[in-house]
Amino acid sequence: MSLTAESPEAAASSAKLASFTLATLPAKARNAALETIHDALAAAKDDILAANARDLEAARKAAADGSLSQSLVSRLDLGRKGKWDDMLKGILDVRDLEDPIGQVQKRSKLADDLVMERVSCPIGVLLIIFEARPEVIANIASLAIKSGNAAILKGGKESTESFVAISKVISSALERTDVPNAAIQLVTARDVIAQLLSQDRNIDLVIPRGGNELVRYIKSSTKIPVLGHADGICAAYLTASADKDKAVTVLVDSKTSYPAACNSLETLLVQDTALPTIFPAVAAALAAKGVTLRCDPASKAALADASLPADAVQDATPEDYDTEHLALVLSVKTVPSLDEAISHINNHGSHHTDAILTANQAEAERFMNEVDSAGTYWNASTRLADGMRYGFGTEVGISTNKIHSRGPVGLEGLTIYKYKIRGDYQPTTGYGDGEGQTPWKHESLPL
């Protein structure tokens, strides 16, 4: 890994050249590089967390004067709830995954002595632009190396100290591996995002990791394909048939286990017949965790006798149902039917992750089929939308795209495929369905 201050053009060009070498390294060499990175980071824990603490101190001051959001401060904390250990574990989890490169996905005989294969291969060069989230450096470096992709990383100013500390450790570690130095680059120069986004000749995919303002800017500013999501407006539909105690557990987890995450619950849709039976217990449990409920008139009325704190229930505005709060705030809306719940989610959600809580299997299957989101769940927390929890080892992000990759994107999402044909000097003339022509065989062959 090089901590580079060179021009964006030079960085992209050198990354492209390095990607050709990295793509041909055997799995053993790529896995060895991941082990080296893991051990180096583990040994440098104290220095890295000290650098992260300096970033946090500056970020908290910025949040206090209103120049930085509290959700970014939360994402910046590398020592929060085992995030450091998860980062290191993620590297080894990626190492232990099956090699995604060179997997034959399809094989067929086109004609005698003419065999076609579809084989997985790296995308090429990734550009990752992120805010806060210093663990992204290790996550992306690991996934890129394992999947045979070169990567250029550009972090936000709020994570500068962490960014530099981690990058120096990884850079030193990679000097002892077969991975080309330019295959993983960290750009430290300021105000270069626009220039990086113009390098569509050498950069193959952009992955933004940050708030909706960053993602929307990137999507509108480049010809390079962008993988990611702008918002995480996740919804849950609470039906009258749901198990009350289990629903409380799932909804409290969805909203409060990490409110600043993109898979945190932002909208609770309540079936009207569940208002007097299940909803008051859910509301009480959420309020006890400090959640402010922004309710429509019907759901607010259902809590009139619930003895909640005076500030726990507020009147919702139409804008609340289109908002990613990223805080202990939950929009609540009453709906009369499954049709209304599906319609609301498809029109107001962000196509990220949505859940239904119900005892009715047919209702659940219809919800999961008709809600147009990357993840649709039955009786499960929206917080499950995570690469590590999906068994991907770690992730580069969550995509709401309709092409290439969707949902948590791990190794498979960082590969594409190519077609290989092995023949015996066959031309195309003479093959076809006409008189005197040799018909194509198109026979499926075992993988």
Output the domain CATH number for residue 146: 3.40.605.10
Q: Do 327 and 373 share a domain, yes or no?
A: yes
Q: Do 91 and 219 share a domain, yes or no?
A: yes
Determine the structural domain holding residue 406 and report its residue range.
2-105+120-227+397-411
Name the domain count of the chain.
2
Q: Do 295 and 167 share a domain, yes or no?
A: no
CATH assignment of the domain containing 344:
3.40.309.10
Q: Do 331 and 363 share a domain, yes or no?
A: yes
> Is 423 in contact with 114 (CB distance < 8 Å)?
yes
Cα pseudo-dihedral 58, 60, 61, 67, rounded to 10: 100
The pTM for the full model equals 0.81
Q: For residues 189-214, give the mean pLDDT.
A: 88
CA distances from 130 to 35, 43, 378 (A): 24, 25, 31
Residue with tokens 């007097």: 276
Q: Do 187 and 55 share a domain, yes or no?
A: yes
List b or e across 91-122, with b for residues whose CB sees 16 or more CB atoms inside 10 angstroms: bebbbebebbbeeeeebeebbeebbbbebbbb
Q: Which residues pair with 439 in a beta bridge?
A: none
Which residues neighbour 67 within 8 Å (Cβ) at sequence distance 6 or greater? none
Q: What stretch of H or E contains 340?
A: helix 338-348
Residue with the bigger pLDDT between 237 and 136: it is 237
In the structure, what pLDDT confidence band is assigned to residue 5 with cuts at 50, 70 and 90? low
Q: Do 76 and 21 share a domain, yes or no?
A: yes
Q: Does 113 reside within a domain?
A: no
CA distance 331 to 320: 6
Q: For residues 109-126, give the mean pLDDT.
A: 95
CA distance 289 to 218: 36
Both tokens of residue 109?
A: 């005989």
Q: Do 269 and 302 share a domain, yes or no?
A: yes
In the structure, what pLDDT confidence band is assigned to residue 230 with cuts at 50, 70 and 90? low
Q: Do 257 and 223 share a domain, yes or no?
A: no
Q: Do 200 and 336 share a domain, yes or no?
A: no
pLDDT of 318-339, one tens digit each?
999 999 999 999 999 999 999 9
Q: Mutual orientation of helices 135-147 and 160-174 as an angle, nearest 10°? A: 30
Nearest C-alpha neighbor of 192 from the set 182, 183, 203: 203
